[in-house]
Structure 1
Amino acid sequence: MTRAPHLPRGGPATDRRHRRPSAAAGRSGTHTRHENDPAADPGGEGASPATPTRTEDRAGAAPIREKQASPATPPRREGPPRGEGPADLRLVPPALAAWAAAAWALDAPPERVAGVAVVSLLAACLLLTSRRRAGRGGPGPAHRASARPRRPRLPAAPDPRPRLPAVPDPRPRRRAVTAGGEGPPATARGAPDRRARVSVAAVLLCVAAAATSAGLHGADLRRGPLPELARRYATVTAEVEVTSDPRLTRPRISGDHAMPPSVLIEAEVRRVEQEGGTVTGTRTPVLMMVDIDRAAPGGPPGTGRSGTRPPDTGPSGTGSKETARSPWLGLLPSTRLRVAARAAPAMAGGGRFAVVLRVRDAAGPEVVGEPSGPQRFAGRLRAGLREATDGLPQDARALLPGLVVGDTSRITPELDEAFRATDLTHTLAVSGSNLTILLVLLIGPYGLAQQAERRGLAPRLGLSLRTTALLGGGLTLGFVLVCRPDPSVLRAAACGAVALLALATGRRRSLIPALATAVLLLVLYDPPLARGYGFLLSVLATGALLTLAPRWSAALRRRRVPARPAEALAAAAAAQAVCAPVVALLSARVSLVAVPCNLLAEAALAPATVLGFAALATAPVVMPVAKTLAWLASWPTGWIADVARTGAALPGGGVDWPADWTGALLLALATVAVVLAGRRLLGHPWLCGACGVLLLLAVLRPPPLTRVITGWPPPGWRFAMCDVGQGDATVLAAGRGTGVVVDAGPDPALADRCLHTLGITRIPLVVLTHFHADHVAGLAGVLRGRAVGAIETTGLEQPADQVAFVRQQAAARHIPVARAAAGEERRVGTLAWQVLWPPPPRPGAGPAASPSPPPPDLEGPNDASVTLLVRSAGLRLLLLGDLEPPAQQALLRSPAAGRLTPVDVLKVAHHGSSYQDPDLIRRVAPRLALISCGAGNPYGHPAPGTVAALRALGAVVLRTDRDGALAVAGGGEDLRVARD
């Protein structure tokens, strides 16, 4: 009786590509090791066609070598292509477990962290030792007889009788295969159990390691004298080592003024000198905040939210204006400083810093140790790139350093807001795409990197795989050094290092294990990354590109979509689908234009990056060549900026969303529902087209269609008060698509959106009642994409930083700026207005362009507000700006007092605060009182007393924090108000 042939080690469950032996081989009792069987190649590359095939006789005969392959056989490749089987997810559970354990352990009590680590370690050891004992137990008694050695048999004499061909048995043959290739069935049944124990043990070991690493990090934050000094808010003198590039915060709007910016520097304290003279050595991570008491030039005094890195504030010592003003911005990592600062506790527990050091900018930093050589070299490269981009247009000059090395110091707040609105901020954070582009230039497409027909520069230079991998590793290290170790950079570098290691060792190419390995190593090395949103978004986007994008691309190609567009669309949609809940958690908004904007920007990203890196490399050597390369890169870079600005300007480009975990979960569920519905819609082209048209209309929101659907703005509207939060922005209708804008509010996006919904495309005049940030910071949104004739301002040019911002915005668009003064009268169509306040400047005050002292009776910018009396088709309106009681009383005594008769509409002064003159309110006796204020503002606007006084006079009081944007139409007895 012939014996059934045994399978190679691992059996069918180990390698599904094993070719089943033929019936003839089964009858002859032989086993053939096929040349394409990976189980026969321990190195993982497979046997070459020229390798002789071994055939073993089951009866114990000596192995017989078959004839060698023909010399005409083509030469073997360095790594034969293999069919990609199911994704290898074995490292994913340990990586996720380590991530969760590190995030929990950062601020957990030390005893709990130690307990979890010890229990996890003991459980893992128990599982592993039980596996070893099970392996040493051997087969049971029932199988010991079969394990005894058989006596050798003599070779049988050949049978001269002819043999009939064997008839195959139609019944399926059951094979008893063990993990080692042969043995009793009981062992095969125990193999899955052993694998499960090993997997659980690996998860527990990673949990123990991550908890230990995070616990040690937390102990480092609590070690040394600084935490106790911070709790007492003590003043210390410390020697610190800079660990990051300095960055400048944007001025934040706080009420009517912008907070001065500060320089933020991440550092590590090496020595601390307390007030008593005690000096202590330590290594405590801190965040230094340097108050430079200067506003950033070129940027608005605020953008409605805090942020970092306004224009022309760079860390690399590039000679920018702000760097020349503040030497703190020119510091490089590894520089040692001596600072005197007030220590304060860090606000967020379990973070990266133990203490915040508040430093006053007196005479600049006191440098006690120069930066290291590599950091100086990286600083020169970054400085050279900035110098090469100095002559480019504004957007390209700001964007190119950000695309190449992550230097966003020149990005204006307006452009940064456009990138946020379109979810293009990942292009400004150096990520895996930048490193991928560089590695593809070196090794070509990674799928062909181990094959004979591999592409890229390496095979053209005659470099072997290992040399190529070493060169790629050096390139990756340089990439991290120049681009700085931000979370996305670290994740990209770790994934690239794992992939290059696989390339050098000839292992199977799989990027999901590489991503899991990168996450595991980074979380163990730097536990605070486990709580970083940047790291989370980077990992989510990469995982989506590796898992969802290929499936979606294949589905699109099956619907006859060309390969390249299908891949690009699938990649953008997959990344947006998994990242949208986290982005909504951070921004309270969901972008509806993110996918098309990313598709349009993706086409220009690769050429801009390649040319930018070329400029970076050549700048220290041949600056003219670097400038030429930077000029070439400015074209795709400008395209990316135009895409961001255009997408952000669309009125329906985003939807407000709850910024909490419930909102994130709801968005995730909604995304899943959209994906499932989209799979069914792909089979119905007409239905897909209809959905696309509806989405396009929702994003564009053409005013005629919006007016029909929502009733906003009402037909024949005369005056509109925009909902811009805690600020003022109003519009006077002056014809079809034309309006006079009074104040711009604090947020450019909100002002732009309001004007778009009103259909305003032409603005003969912008009146800025005074220079407080809640009235002028949104000017860029008012001017964006509209024809503006002139800007009028008050005569009191305070505060200076906001005055400079207004003049810069006007100069950039060649818009004249003039001063408004009492007695001025103007008319545009049926719209007419007269300036009642402030009084004209005194004789000899100087030209209109120069700063002027406060006129009499004015106590500050509020009292200098431009006050307008407006007539529009029989409707009388009084706009008081932010006048306070002294100026209101002075207005009643001024020559314009005779015109202060009852009005139809009153724009209540100063957001309805309690600072109102009752005589002025009684004098004008409004029928409708409108108040512009922000929901939940910290000032209590509007004051209950003010609202009550207006209602006591018979006025209808409406407010934007509750009623939204307001539009007034009609006149006389037909006065109407519409709400948006």
Structure 2
Amino acid sequence: MHAASGRRLGDSHPRQEGPVDLRLVPPALATWGTAAVMLYAPPTLVTGVVVAALLLAGVLLVRRNHRTEPPHAGLGPDGPSPGGTGPDGPGSAGPSPGGPSPDGPGSVGPGPTGRGRAGPGAAPGQGRSRVAGVAVLVCVAAAAGSAGLHGADLRRGPVPELAREYASVTAEVELTADPRLSRPRAGGGMVPPFVLIEADVRRVERAGGGAVVATRAPVLIMVDARAARSGTPWERAGARGAEGSTRWLGLLPSTRLRVEARLAPATAGGDRFAAVLRVRGADGPETVGEPSAPQRLAGRLRAGLRAATDGLSADARALLPGLVVGDTSRVTPELDEAFRETDLTHTLAVSGANFTILLALLLGPPGLAQYAERRGLASRLGLSLRTTALLGGALSLAFVVVCRPDPSVLRAAACGSVALLALATGRRRSLIPALATAVLLLVLYDPWLARSYGFLLSVLATGALLTLAPRWSAGLRGRGVPPRLAEALAAAGAAQAVCAPVVVVLSARVSLVAVPCNLLAEFALAPATVLGFLALATALPALPVAKTLAWCASWPAEWIAQIARTGAALPGAGVDWPGGWAGAALLGALTLVLLPIGRRLLRHPWWCGACALLLVLLVVQPPPLTRAVTGWPPTGWRLVMCDVGQGDAMVLAAGEDTGVVVDAGPDPVPVDRCLRSLGVTRVPLVVLTHFHADHVAGLPGVLRGRSVGGIATTGLEEPADQARFVRRLAADRHLPVTRAVAGERRRTGDLSWEVVWPPPSTGQAPGTWPAPAPPSSVPLPPEPEGPNDASVAMLVRTAGLRLLLLGDMEPPAQRALARSPAADRLADVDVLKVAHHGSAYQDPGLVSRLAPRLALISAGRDNSYGHPAPSTVAALRDAGAAVLRTDRDGSVAVLGDEDGRGGLRVARQ
């Protein structure tokens, strides 16, 4: 038969015939589910599950052995039975009524019903099902035991007990992951940055005396390193005051430290840590044990890659380390948000795609997996199968160490290692068993992966590529789509369809541009990854060569960044969706409904074209069409208060496609969406009233895809980390940053404004407020009590209307403003942007003096601050003002009369 087929004996074909081997899938799923449930289960329940699973497995084995005992060789109770001697000799079964067996002599042929018998009363299918059941039960027992032991680490030993007492301790810890810098948001400001480090406590001693206790408890170390706020973790040289923090950020896994810290309980049921260690890190860490040799080498390689990318553009310098080793420390918030909007974040998380590219260099094209040993560098070098597999194994190990053992990295390396093992032993099978084996082994080794969203997304994407994508690709090719395009479309569509419900759980948003963006990025991902890894490998021995390779890799990296920015900039790039698992279930059900409809549409090209055009219009949302359908934005708008949640963002019309932006809100996405809905593409000036995150964190959204002339800010640069954030963005875009002070007047088109606060001041620290000498007739203003009182306040004139924007000014500054020389010009304004989201801290005298016709309040829905305060809303209404608020009314537009007579109208989105 082999001669007839034209292939050598032992040759295999990449397209295996027959059903997919799914025997390992049930044990893998049982292991995964059991580990996820048992991690926080009490020990008694864990023990009960282990014992019950093993007992039931034993019962199934005993029953199987009993039913499959071979009968006595052709003997009945009293001697040879009829037909006991067959044509093949004594003891053979002989021919059955159904004819000779197709399997050869000595086999059991089919009986009258067409089915053979494995033994008395037992069919072969029943035996196989019992074996499968035993395998599942054994995996359940193993997963429960492993998860129980890992979960017990969170409860046993002295660390959890000391954490419940919030005790101060001296601990010796061993790092288990790379340090990272975190800047979590909190309300209107920013929590001071922390260096976060995962570690195991090896020894612990209560401060002030006590026995040293040896233990092993996973903890999260939080280092209060405020000096780390300047620059990225890798900008060590020249960082003022950052010496201590950069020493923390430069630590490698397996390093042992001695720290003095205060213990605190970890979030119940949410983390894999027994406690949190809060450390004051101004003096840097005290090292008591050096990292291992492999970790030192990996650290040097990663540092070499960063050095090789130092001279590149900002996008390439940020993306290449992320594409190659998952180092995202240089990725700006604006670029990170663009990647999230387009579902391209997987390119920054080292995953199976990166490892597949590396294996393809060694083994050959992934599409010819069964012929892999005859392709790639291995075949060109004449390496044997086993040598190729050993090299692949070494590559897997190096991949994990250099790229860090993140969930997607572990899954990719384990799956590749199983496939390499099959290659070395000559048992080349489908990759589905390899994926199932990888899941099973990894979850048994680290049960916390069972609760990792990254691990779940990685496995789902890989499973979709192995199961759905080939069928979808064949269907597209059958309808005339070119093979390469069909494979790319099928892969992107399958991964998106399977992973989208999980992404909804995390982001409560569905991207409509994910598939085209991933398709376009796919062409650049392979060259960027290959050249990036070559730069990584050559950085230590030959840095100039590495720089050349990194420069070549910068072109595809910049292409990927441009795709992300362009896709995220589209008005309909995504739609809001219910979050949580309920939203995931809803999206999954909708996907199941739409897939058959899409399959039918493929048979009708005209319908496909119409649906594609409708989707393009939904994503692009041309302003004339949007205005005709929704009525937004209203013609003649002069000011729009954007609904950006708990924050401030306003746009002042300044001409065709032009607007002055006052504050940017807490998130780049809402303000960008608001500006796009208004058709604003040119921004002569961005005014940031003060540096709290709910006013400046959305600045990347304002800068995205627009021509910006400059930024004006207050002089009090607090919080300092947010001020640095603004200046860093301005420097990247080469934008001038100026300070707004009282008395400054500006005009652009029909729009004019006057800054009425803060005034020039003396007595401030150098580098904070500008300090020109005020006129002798003007009393010195009070010292600001904080960033809110240093807010920039503006009196705006447009279309015959006067609008007063107060930022977040609080009563001390409001009273000072009422006594300032500008107070006479503030009486009887038309529109008031109420200070500080309508909080209860308002000066009644200023409100009475202003007597606005319309009061606008920007606040987030169901915010925890109680904004706006009922007392403030009541006071404004008592003063005769109509009150509109974004938490209930959405975005609000103020319209003036075309003749400039001061008519006031409003519209809501």
**TM-score tier (shorter):** over 0.9
> 1:267-304 CA distances to partner (integer Å, 9 max, x unpaired)?
11111112332011112111111111235335xxxxxx
User: Following TM superposition, by how much is the alpha carbon of 1:887 offset from its aligned partner in structure 2, in angstroms?
Assistant: 1.8
The residue aligned with 2:907 is 978
Cα distance, 1:860 vs structure 2: 2.6
- Following superposition of structure 1 onto structure 2, how do residues 493-892 of structure 1 map, counting pairs within 5 Å? 493-842=413-762, 855-856=781-782, 858-892=784-818
Q: CA deviation at 1:461?
A: 0.7
1:80 to 1:975, Cα distance in 2 relative to 1, 3 A: closer
1:522 and 1:529 in contact (8 A); partners too: yes
Q: Deviations over 1:119-158 (max 9, x none)?
A: 11111111122111111152898897356235899xxxxx
**Residues 152, 697 of structure 1: alpha-carbon distance in 2 compared, 3 angstrom cutoff:** closer
Aligned to 1:263: 195
* Maintained 8 Å contact 1:797/1:851: no
Contact kept, 8 Å, 1:176 with 1:184, in 2: the verdict is no
Q: Name the counterpart of 1:938.
A: 864
Residue 440 (structure 1) aligned with residue 367 (structure 2)? no
Q: Which residue of 2 aligns with 1:214?
A: 147
- Structure 1 segment 223-242 matched on structure 2, within 5 A: 223-242=156-175
3-state SS, counterpart of residue 782 of structure 2: coil
2:220 counterpart of 1:287 = yes
The residue aligned with 1:156 is: none
SS for the counterpart of 1:294 is helix
Query: Contact (CA 8 Å) 1:857, 1:890: kept in 2 or not?
Result: no
Contact 2:245 2:281 in 1 (8 A): no
Match of 1:906, SS? strand
Query: Is the 2:796–2:803 Cα contact (8 Å) retained in structure 1?
Result: yes
> Does 1:134 find its partner at 2:60?
no
Give me the whole-angstrom Cα distance separating, in 2, the residues matched to 1:921 and 1:818: 30
Code of the residue aligned with 1:975 in structure 2: it is: L
Q: Which amino acid aligns with 1:899?
A: R
Equivalent-residue separation in structure 2 for 1:685 and 1:551 (angstroms): 20
- Partners of 1:179 and 1:764 in 2: CA distance: 91
**Deviation readout 1:741-791 (Å, 9 max, x if unpaired):** 111222222221111111111122222222222222222221222222232
Contact 2:244 2:281 in 1 (8 A): no
- Tell which deviates more after alignment, 903-912 or 79-88: 79-88
| Offset at residue 653 of structure 1 (A) | 0.7
Q: Is the 8 A contact 1:882 1:909 kept in 2?
A: yes
1:252 and 2:172 matched: no
Query: What amino acid is aligned across from residue 820 of structure 2 in structure 1?
Result: S
For 2:237 and 2:807, locate their aligned partners in 1 and report how far apart those are by CA, in whole Å. 42
Aligned to 1:120: 53
**Percent same amino acid among aligned pairs?**
69
Give secondary structure in 1 for the equivalent of 2:117: helix
Deviation at 1:190, TM superposition (A): 1.0
Work out the CA distance in 2 between the residues paired with 1:514 and 1:226: 39
Aligned pair in 2 of structure 1 residues 892, 663: CA closer, same or farther (>3 Å)?
A: same
- The residue type paired with residue 726 of structure 2 is V
| CA distance in 1 between partners of 2:610 and 2:243 (Å) | 53
- Is 1:366 paired with 2:252? no
What is the distance in 1 between the residues matched to 2:68 and 2:829?
Answer: 95
Any idea what SS the aligned residue of 2:493 has? helix
Are residues 1:386 and 2:318 paired? no
Residue aligning to 1:461: 381
Letter in 2 for 1:477: L
Is the aligned partner of 1:480 residue 2:400?
Answer: yes
**Aligned: 1:346 with 2:266:** yes
In structure 2, do the counterparts of structure 1 residues 295 and 725 end up closer, same or farther at CA, with 3 Å as the change threshold? Answer: farther
Q: How far apart in 2 are the matches of 1:440 and 1:858?
A: 62
- AA aligned to 1:665 is A
One-letter identity of the residue aligned with 2:150: H
1:431-463 C-alpha deviation (Å, 9 max, x unpaired) = 111111111111113564554982111111111
1:107 equivalent among 29, 40, 43: 40
Deviations 1:302-342 (A, max 9, x none): xxxxxxxxxx2249x99989677520011111111111111
| Number of the residue aligned with 2:94 | none
Structure 2 CA distance for aligned equivalents of residues 103 and 547 of structure 1:
25
8 Å Cα contact 1:444-1:456 kept in structure 2: yes
Q: What do residues 450-491 of structure 1 show as CA deviations (whole Å, max 9, x unaligned)?
A: 549821111111111111111111111111111111111111
Check the 8 A contact 1:313/1:323 in 2, yes or no: no
**1:256 is matched by which residue type in structure 2?**
G
**Structure 1: which 5+ runs fail to align?**
1-34, 37-47, 51-72, 154-170, 299-311
In the alignment, the residues of structure 2 paired with residue 672 and residue 934 of structure 1 have an alpha-carbon distance, to the nearest angstrom, of 35
1:77-116 correspondence to structure 2 within 5 Å: 79=12, 83-116=16-49
Listed one character per residue, the Cα deviations across residues 570-592 of structure 1 (whole Å, up to 9, x for unaligned) are 10111111111111101111111
Deviations 1:495-531 (A, max 9, x none): 1011001111111321000001111111111111111
Aligned AA (1:552): W
Q: What is the SS of the residue equivalent to 1:576? A: helix
Q: Is 1:190 equivalent to 2:116 in the alignment?
A: no
Residue deviations 1:395-451, cap 9 Å, x none? 111111111111112212221111111111111111111111111111113564554
Q: Match for 1:919 among 833, 845, 867?
A: 845
The alpha-carbon distance between structure 1 residues 846 and 512, as it changes in their structure 2 partners (threshold 3 A), is closer
Q: Could you give the per-residue CA deviations for residues 588-643 of structure 1, whole angstroms, max 9, x where no partner exists?
A: 11111111111111100000111011111111111111111111011111111111
- Output the amino acid matched with 2:149: L
Q: Is the Cα contact below 8 Å between 1:795 and 1:852 reproduced in 2?
A: no
Kept in 1, the 8 Å contact 2:761–2:770? The answer is no
Partner amino acid for 1:632?
C
Where does residue 969 of structure 1 map in the other structure? 895
Deviates more, 1:832-841 or 1:721-730: 832-841
> 1:174–1:933: structure 2 CA closer, same or farther, 3 Å change rule?
farther
Query: What is the distance in 1 between the residues matched to 2:225 and 2:768?
Result: 30
The verdict on how the C-alpha distance between 1:712 and 1:959 changes in structure 2, with shifts beyond 3 A counting, is: same
Change (3 A) 1:478 1:205: same
Deviation for aligned residue 1:883: 1.8
Q: Secondary structure at the match of 1:136?
A: coil
Amino acid across the alignment from 1:133 = H
Give yes or no for the alignment of 1:397 onto 2:317. yes
Question: Post-superposition shift, 1:855?
Answer: 4.6
- Distance in 2 (alpha carbons) for counterparts of 1:132 and 1:882: 79
Instruction: Give, in whole Å, the separation in 1 of the partners of 2:383 and 2:605.
Output: 50
How far apart, in 2, do the equivalents of 1:608 and 1:822 lie? 51
Partners of 1:481 and 1:922 in 2: CA distance: 67
Q: Does 1:273 align with 2:205?
A: yes
Give me the CA root mean square deviation: 2.7
3-state secondary structure, aligned to 2:227: coil
Q: 1:142 to 1:83 in 2, by over 3 A?
A: farther
In the TM superposition, residue 950 of structure 1 has moved relative to its aligned partner by 1.0
Distance 1:902 1:965 in 2: 24
